[in-house]
């Protein structure tokens, strides 16, 4: 199921709900918070938004994705100025629901429409997540349009998206949706890697290895493969788990090559086998459609 975000970073929280959100996030007292949100949902759109989150994900109540979708639609369709700051986040969440077919019938077309609303032509005050997601959506087989993908990743990257910064590096590297540009690719990959993007780190390893900078490739690969807790890394960097898994798998493969052949690091066939095995067992073999 799609996870709607509590106190979404692109959502401004009204003062009288701060305490409720605090107890939600820090103490997990979902039932108590649910009562407070229920009391305020008819007069406060922030309460309605958080209530939609809780029903969708089953926090403090039985999971009811249909009700979660209903509340998000109320926010999106409202003409009230008090709902304006929530519309982009609600549209993004609804797009995820339609794409996953959870709480509503699956529709890629409706997901695209909603994400375009949430992205708002690249508005930095809109949903940057929607902008990045559109970049990934237009990289999928069903809606493949790499020029659109490049456009949206550029918008999202300019608005601070770490995930899109890594994706742009790969697109420049392989000439996907844009003219191939190794200099721009390296700039994007290095910047994203330094910010913790594991997908970018994996491709940076590949970049250096293919250009015979074996020592640099091995050093980055070793660092990238030290932590293989995919879900934790994805949460920390706000990147898709599938992208994180692919980055770790790429780094493991090239580290294994370096160890196997003694390139940039002391030859160690036993260690090489370990990293080859790590690469083969990686969940990256089951990548989602969004991966470039």
DSSP string, 248-264: HHHHHHHHHHHHHHTSS
> For residue range 242-282, what is the model confidence (pLDDT) as tens digits?
999 999 999 999 999 999 999 999 999 999 999 999 887 66
> For residue range 179-219, what is the model confidence (pLDDT) as tens digits?
999 999 999 999 999 999 999 999 999 999 999 999 999 99
Tell me how far apart the 2 most distant CA atoms of the chain are, in Å.
67
- Residue in 222, 221, 216, 178 with CA at minimum distance from that of residue 200: 221
Neighbouring CB atoms inside 10 A of 257's CB total 21
Q: CA 86 to CA 59: how far, in whole Å?
A: 20
- Residue in 127, 124, 54, 57 with CA at minimum distance from that of residue 86: 127
The whole-number pLDDT of residue 73 equals 98
Q: CA 47 to CA 271: how far, in whole Å?
A: 53
Q: Is the pLDDT of residue 1 over 80?
A: no
The whole-number pLDDT of residue 37 equals 85
CB 126 within 8 A of CB 134: no
Where does 1-124 sit in CATH, by number?
1.25.40.10
**Domain ranges in the chain?**
1-124
The whole-number pLDDT of residue 23 equals 64
Query: Which SS3 state, helix, strand or coil, does residue 62 take?
Result: coil
Query: Which SS3 state, helix, strand or coil, does residue 147 take?
Result: helix
Q: Alpha helix (H) ranges present in 101-161?
A: 108-119, 128-137, 146-158
């Amino acid at each position: 199921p799609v996870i709607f975000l509590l106190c979404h970073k692109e959502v401004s929280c009204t003062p009288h709900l701060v305490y409720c959100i605090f107890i939600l996030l820090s103490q997990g007292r979902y039932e108590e918070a649910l009562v407070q949100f229920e009391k305020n949902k008819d007069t406060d759109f922030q309460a309605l938004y958080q209530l939609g989150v809780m029903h969708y994900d089953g926090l403090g109540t039985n999971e009811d994705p249909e009700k979660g979708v209903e509340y998000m639609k109320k926010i999106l369709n409202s003409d009230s100025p008090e709902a304006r700051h929530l519309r982009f986040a609600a549209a993004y969440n609804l797009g995820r629901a339609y794409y996953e077919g959870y709480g509503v019938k699956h529709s890629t077309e409706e997901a695209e429409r909603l994400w375009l609303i949430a992205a708002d032509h690249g508005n930095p005050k809109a949903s940057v997540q929607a902008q990045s997601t559109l970049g990934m959506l237009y990289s999928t087989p069903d809606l493949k349009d790499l020029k659109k993908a490049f456009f949206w990743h550029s918008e999202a990257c300019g608005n601070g998206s770490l995930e899109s910064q890594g994706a742009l590096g790969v697109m420049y590297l392989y000439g996907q949706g844009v003219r191939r540009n190794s200099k721009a690719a390296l700039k994007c990959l290095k910047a994203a890697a330094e910010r913790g993007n594991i997908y970018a780190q994996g491709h940076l390893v590949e970049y250096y290895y293919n250009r015979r900078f074996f020592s640099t490739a091995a050093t980055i690969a070793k660092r990238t493969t030290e932590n293989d807790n995919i879900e934790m890394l994805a949460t920390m960097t706000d990147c898709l788990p599938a992208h994180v898994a692919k980055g770790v798998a790429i780094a493991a493969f090239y580290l294994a090559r370096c160890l196997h052949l003694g390139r940039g690091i002391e030859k160690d066939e036993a260690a090489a086998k370990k990293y080859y095995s790590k690469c083969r067992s990686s969940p990256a073999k089951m990548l989602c459609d969004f991966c470039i």
